[in-house]
Chain A
Amino acid sequence: MLEIRNLHARIAEDGTEIIRGLNLTVKAGEVAAIMGPNGSGKSTLSYILSGREDYEVTEGEILYNGENILELDPAERAAKGIFLAFQYPVEIPGVATMQFLKVAMNEQRKARGDAELSTPDFIRKVKEAAAELKINPDMLKRPLNVGFSGGEKKRAEILQMALLEPKLCVLDETDSGLDIDALKIVADGVNALKSPDRAVIVITHYQRLLDYIVPDTVHVLYKGQIIRTGDKQLALELEANGYADIIGQAA
Chain B
Amino acid sequence: MNMQAQNRQTAAETALLDSYNAQIGELPGNGAVISARDRLVDDLKTNGLPTRRVEAWHYTDLKTLLRSIPASGPASSVRNPAPLVDAAALIKTRQGEADGNVSVDGIVVGSYADMLREGTAAPGLSVIDKDDTIGKINGSFVRDGYVLEFPAGAEIGQPIEIQALHGAGQAHTRFPVSFGAGSKATVIERHIQTTDGQAFVSSVSDISLEDGAEVTWIVVQEQGADDTHLAQVRVRVGNNAKLRLFVINAGGKLVRQELRIDVAGEGADLQLRGVNLLGGDTHTDVTLVLGHNVPNTTSTEIFRNVVFDRARGVFQGMIKVALDAQKTDARMACNTLLMSDDAEFAAKPELEIFADDVQCGHGATVADIDDNHLYYLMARGIPHNKARAMLVNAFVAEIVEELEDEALVEALEAIISNWLEKHA
User: Which A residues have a C-beta under 8 Å from some C-beta of B?
Assistant: 50-54, 73-75, 77-79, 84, 86, 89-90, 92-95, 99-100, 103-104, 107-108, 111, 143, 160, 164
A79 nearest CB neighbor, chain B only: B381
Expressed in whole angstroms, the Cα–Cα distance for A90 and B378 within the complex equals 13
Are B372 and A90 touching (Cβ within 8 A)? yes
Q: How far is the CB of A155 from chain B (nearest CB, A)?
A: 16
The 8 closest A-B pairs by CB, nearest first: A94-B394, A78-B381, A108-B381, A74-B378, A104-B380, A75-B378, A74-B379, A95-B394
Q: A93 is contacted by which of B372, B377, B384, B394 (Cβ under 8 Å)?
A: B394
A160 neighbours in B (Cβ, 8 Å): 380
Q: A107 is contacted by which of B383, B394, B397 (Cβ under 8 Å)?
A: B383
Within 8 A of A (CB), among B265-318: none
Q: How far is the CB of B398 from chain A (nearest CB, A)?
A: 6
User: 16 A-B Cβ contacts within 8 A?
Assistant: A51-B378, A52-B375, A75-B382, A78-B379, A78-B380, A78-B381, A93-B394, A93-B398, A94-B397, A95-B391, A100-B380, A100-B390, A103-B382, A103-B390, A111-B383, A160-B380
Expressed in whole angstroms, the Cα–Cα distance for A86 and B377 within the complex equals 12
Q: A95 is contacted by which of B371, B379, B381, B390 (Cβ under 8 Å)?
A: B390
Are B394 and A104 touching (Cβ within 8 A)? no
Known contacts A90-B373, A95-B391; A51 and B386 CB within 8 A of each other: no
Expressed in whole angstroms, the Cα–Cα distance for A33 and B371 within the complex equals 29
Interface of B is mostly: helix
Interface size class of B (residues with CB under 8 A): 20 to 34
B376 neighbours in A (Cβ, 8 Å): 86, 89-90, 92
A80 nearest CB neighbor, chain B only: B381
Are A164 and B380 touching (Cβ within 8 A)? yes
B387 beta carbon closer than 8 Å to chain A? yes
Total inter-chain residue pairs, C-beta < 8 Å: 74
Expressed in whole angstroms, the Cα–Cα distance for A50 and B387 within the complex equals 16
A78 neighbours in B (Cβ, 8 Å): 378-381
B393 beta carbon closer than 8 Å to chain A? yes
B397 neighbours in A (Cβ, 8 Å): 94
A86 neighbours in B (Cβ, 8 Å): 376, 379
Are B373 and A92 touching (Cβ within 8 A)? yes
B419 beta carbon closer than 8 Å to chain A? no
Q: A94 is contacted by which of B371, B377, B383, B393 (Cβ under 8 Å)?
A: B393
Highest count of chain B CB atoms <10 Å: which of A51, A53, A95, A99: A95
Known contacts A75-B387, A93-B394; A53 and B375 CB within 8 A of each other: yes
A90 neighbours in B (Cβ, 8 Å): 372-373, 376
Q: How far is the CB of B216 from chain A (nearest CB, A)?
A: 22
Binary interface profile of B, 220-262, with partner A (CB < 8 Å = 1, else 0)? 0000000000000000000000000000000000000000000
Are B378 and A73 touching (Cβ within 8 A)? yes
Known contacts A75-B387, A100-B390; A107 and B398 CB within 8 A of each other: no
A99 neighbours in B (Cβ, 8 Å): 390
A52 neighbours in B (Cβ, 8 Å): 375, 379
Are A92 and B394 touching (Cβ within 8 A)? yes
Binary interface profile of B, 32-49, with partner A (CB < 8 Å = 1, else 0)? 000000000000000000
A103 nearest CB neighbor, chain B only: B382
Q: B377 is contacted by which of A77, A100, A108, A143 (Cβ under 8 Å)?
A: A100
Highest count of chain B CB atoms <10 Å: which of A86, A94, A160: A94
Are B372 and A107 touching (Cβ within 8 A)? no
B398 neighbours in A (Cβ, 8 Å): 93-94
Q: How far is the CB of A158 from chain B (nearest CB, A)?
A: 13
